[in-house]
Structure formats: C-alpha cells, structure tokens
C-alpha cells in the first residue's frame, strides 16, 4: 500500500508540472506568433507620432560644390589644374567641348580625381559645377 501511495504522489506531481509547463509553453508560443504590428481601420483612433522635423540645408549650388570640393586644386594652378577664372588656362580645355570636360570631371583625368573627390555629388552636380567653372573662366 505504501508503494502505491508513493506512485500516486509521483504521478500527481508529474501531472501538475506537465500541465503548468504546457500552459507556459502555450503562453510563450502565443507571444511569439502574435502579429508584430497593429492594423488600424477607418474610423479607429490612430495614435499619430509627429515626424521629426528635418531642417533642409537646401540644394547646393554649383558654387557651393566648387568651393567645397574643387577650389582646393582649381583656385591655384600649382598642381596643373586649370585655374578658376583664368581664361588662358581653360581655353584649350573649353575647345574640347563641354561634354568632354564633364565626362573627364566625372571619370577623372590624370591628377584630376573622379568626381573631383565629391563623394556626395551626383553626376548632375558635377556637370553643373563644370559649367559654373567654365562660365567663370572665359
Ligand atoms: C585633387 C585636386 C583636384 C580636385 C579636388 C579637383 N580637380 Fe579638377 N582637375 C585637377 C587637375 C590636376 C586637372 C588637370 C588634369 C589634366 O588634364 O591633366 C583637373 C582638370 C579638371 C577639368 C578639365 C578636364 C579636361 O578634360 O580638361 C575639369 C572640368 C575639372 N577638373 C573639374 C573639377 C570639378 C568640377 C571638381 C570638383 C567637383 C574638381 N575638378 C576637383 C585637379 C583637381
């Protein structure tokens, strides 16, 4: 009879722990598969989070780009770059045509680095900057 009681106790204990383990597991599965977002339907009270205000610095002008990225080399003729505002140093280059100058500024030529080192410039930015330099150097 003693041994039977012992079995009963063990059996009950095992049942209780497995039931509560089941319950815990179900709970955590529900947590894991619940939708990650909420869907709002028309008419629902939607919590609105205001977008952060981003101050735009405005579009850069060709002059800005020239000053920041190109002037280091083009404001002087020290390293053989055609000098800004110096018609004589630009004449031969301008004769090649604007398209050729823009392509060389984009792809680089000799000591002229591709994109003039302006990593944030688009090819349109470079084209506009080349035009700006040419317009002011003839
Ligand atoms: C590290 C110095 C350096 C920087 C920065 C630089 N250039 Fe140049 N650039 C040169 C040199 C040197 C040449 C002459 C290359 C040659 O013809 O041998 C040149 C040539 C050019 C030419 C003439 C290309 C041709 O076909 O004759 C253009 C146009 C030009 N650069 C535009 C720019 C623009 C636009 C920027 C800025 C976005 C810029 N460069 C930044 C050094 C520089």
Q: Is the CB of residue 109 below 6 angstroms from any atom belonging to ligand 1?
A: yes
Mutate to test the pocket of ligand 1, among 62, 69, 74 (most ligand atoms within 8 A of CB): 74
Q: Can you tell me the distance from the alpha carbon of 84 to that of 66, in angstroms, rounded to the nearest whole number? A: 10
Split at pLDDT 50, 70, 90, the class of 5 is low
Q: What is the mean pLDDT of residues 101-124?
A: 97
Position 21 scores a pLDDT of 62
Angstrom distance (rounded) from CA 70 to CA 133: 10
Please tell me the least confidently modeled range out of 2-11, 41-50, 94-103. Answer: 2-11
**CA 62 to each of CA 1, 17, 120, 123, 129: distance values in angstroms, whole numbers, following the listed order:** 99, 74, 13, 12, 4
Residue 32 predicted with pLDDT over 60:
yes
pLDDT > 90: percent of the chain = 54
User: Could you tell me if the CB of 127 is within 6 A of ligand 1?
Assistant: no
Distance from chain centroid for Cα 10: 62
pLDDT of residue 137: 97
């Amino acid at each position: 009879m003693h041994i039977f009681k012992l079995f009963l106790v063990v059996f009950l204990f095992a049942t209780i722990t497995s039931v509560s383990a089941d319950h815990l597991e179900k709970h955590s599965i529900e947590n894991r598969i619940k939708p990650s977002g909420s869907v709002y339907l028309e008419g629902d009270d939607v919590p609105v989070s205001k977008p952060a205000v981003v101050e735009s610095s405005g579009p850069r002008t060709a002059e800005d780009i020239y000053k920041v990225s190109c002037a280091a080399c083009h404001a002087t003729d020290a390293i053989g770059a055609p000098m800004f505002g110096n018609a004589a140093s630009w004449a031969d280059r301008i004769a090649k045509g604007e398209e050729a100058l823009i392509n060389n500024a984009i792809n680089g030529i000799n000591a002229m680095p591709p994109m003039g080192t302006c990593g944030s410039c688009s090819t349109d930015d470079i084209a506009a900057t080349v035009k700006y330099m040419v317009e002011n150097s003839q």
